[in-house]
Amino acid sequence: MSTFQSKIASGSNGYPAPDNPGARSGGSAMIQGAQQGSAEAMEFQLWVSQQATSLAKLKIFNTMAKSINDQQ
């Protein structure tokens, strides 16, 4: 475990060392991209939820209309 932590601190694991300012700017772009992707995923989930609600309303309307039509 201590070997793993020392590799992280030295940056020898392929990731930049935490105290490298140039690496932080590249990391912030990656973080910004991840945040944008997260926002798009949330927007998509909201759209899916709205579509599911609309479908449920249509199914209820269809059932009610069929029931009324069968009574006539």
Two structure tokens written together for 28: 């912030």
Q: Which residue has the higher pLDDT, 46 or 71?
A: 46
Quick check: pTM over 0.85? Answer: no
Would the pLDDT of 67 be above 50? yes
pLDDT for res 9: 57
pLDDT for res 21: 53
Distances (CA, A) of 57 to 16, 23, 54: 52, 51, 5
Q: Tens of pLDDT along 1-40?
A: 455 555 555 555 555 555 555 555 567 989 999 999 999 9
Q: Map tokens 């932080």 to a residue.
A: 24
Other CB atoms closer than 10 Å to residue 2's CB: what's the count? 6
